[in-house]
Structure 1
Amino acid sequence: MQFDLGQRGRAMMDFEVTTRLAASRLQQTVEGELADAGLDAQGLPEDMEERHRVIDSALAGSTAYQARALLGEWCAKQHGRAAEQAFEEISGSIVPALEQLREGGTTITVHDVDAPRYWSQTWFHRTRGGWDAGPWNGFIHGELVHKKYVSKIFPGDIYGNRRAVLKSLPRADYRRILEIGTSSGHHSVAIAEVFPDARLTGIDPSLRMLEQAQRVANEKGLSWDLHTGVGETMPMFADASFDLVTAYAIHHEMPVKAIEAIFAEAFRVLEPGGDMIMADVARTQSLDRMTAWRFDWLARWGGEPFWRSTAKLDMEPMARAAGFVDVRGWQPNPGRDPYIIYGRKPV
């Protein structure tokens, strides 16, 4: 979407990015201090909580660690607030345009579905009040938090990763694609780019996020079929309705039982011979213990209560248990996101 932030909003978002990058540089200093203290990846405890205790003790007198913690708390709390304030500064001029983007070929069907407690009672990413707290949270998250903040601090091409995941699929002729966890539409855009002839259906528990995905699609002249709901139970979709089911970065925001249920539902709604490909955060077992501690530490600051339990999962047995064959999981960039899990529904 094309829009200009106000002077104050632009300055606030730039400051958030600068602060977060400064925190990353402090992280390097902190890990250097750990090395000087004789703590390296091989010497850290296997248990993550014990690892945190050992590192906290070793860095008890470190001003760099204290500053890193302070900046971590600042960034976790303030980046969302800065985005909200930046939006408020331009809301008078941009809201009419956003309202017009409700009209177009993309529809939203609202289902009477009880949102799971893990979603409704968690402020993911420290978003005050949760995803649906404000009427414009979808735009604020999708266009300000994601594009003006997250994409600038992410190590790599956060949008290119989505396209790369889809391009690793064995086919190029999918026609009926289901995306679980549509959110504000970033993975949806990648799907539309890689498979322009496919009909895209999306599901997400957040109506505010789906409204932003709708605006994104309508602005691009695309026709998506969006639904409120959760991937664990999708009664609105019949058996064998799709030839591809995909998701990007949703598993680390839900408990293990929900992930198992999503694999089962993905299998059910796929036609025989259809494919499943999903991507999430790097697996803990693929990381050295220092890197895994860093990711876990950042997740704790960042408002990711399910990160640790999800990141250590081996999802290949879960996919096989759901019925998928030819299952494989891999990380294109060792030590970094994403982790990709693929499976096929047998004919």
Structure 2
Amino acid sequence: MADDFKYHIDHHAGLTPQVALIDARAAHVRGELDDAGLRAAQDAAVAEAVSTQRRLGLAAVSDGWFRRSDPLSVVHDQVTGFGDELVGGAVAQLLGASAPRRREAVGPLAATGRLAGHESAALRAVTEYPLLVSLPSPGYVAELSVAEGQQPKSVEETGANLAAIIGGEIAALAAEGVAYVLLHNPLYGFLLSARGAERAAELGLPVGELVDRMLAADAAVLDGLEAPVHFHLGLDLTTGGAADLSAGYAAGPLTAFQERQPFDRICVEYPALEQARFPLSGVRPGVVASLGLVDVRTPELESVEQIVSRVDAAAAELDIDDIALSTNGPFTAESGLTGSQERLKLQLVEMAARYFWGNEL
């Protein structure tokens, strides 16, 4: 792994849970397995996932999200001030089937403890390899935590509170030696796409205002952040293919995003359809663009030749050392892939990366 951290085989932290873990979760819900039994099943699943990631040559390994009940539980479980589950709403309609479980922010938000400390500690117990931890971005959680009709100021306040909480967790992870934290915000992927922006407008969502508001909250995690020189913080706006990218990207929201996003690594979708690829011309020099080239929704494997041709196209716009290769989003149980199909997808990413950077991996 190069000291500049421009590693070229990337992933999104989420992995397909093994059958044994799925069964253990179901037994826990039914009351047939206690908390200790569930933790043991999670530990076994994480150990197996770490072994798989190391064999694939990934530069940092995650716990697969195996300790989370849903993508936002890492926040909801450790932060007071959230109330009942929210149902419906324009943002949820825009996200469609990919919308996570939402809970309304009803009072002052305060962390009761570390958000992901238990995840990083469990990872360190099974590996000395560099660690990757993914967190939902504060802007994303804020937009999902307000009921219809809330004033923008209240959403901004929620975003600022969450930025302080999540920013504190990022600082703690960096201090304990985690190499890479990835902030997950797929709502950008919908709002920046032309079709998504159109749909948002139909739903009464102010696209420019939402992008600006999320950027303000997400960028705030960097305020006062002190971290080791080789610690890096990325922003993941992939949707796992859920956003309709067939008409390309909306120029206004995209320009605003490109000009203001402060992170040194962004994860974007770069599919076979040329007009659906994230425009790289506005990516600042030195920012690593992790290209989502392999689809997590289908077991069919893309060809190495097709992937290489797409990387060649990207390299015409970005320095090849500012490019990484990945899937188009995290793997989840909803992806419908088996563990072996997931491994084949990740092996394909590794194979293509070695074509370009074989001596550096």
TM norm structure 1: 0.28
Larger-Rg structure: 1
TM norm structure 2: 0.27
- Higher RCO (C-alpha under 8 Å, 6+ residues apart): 2
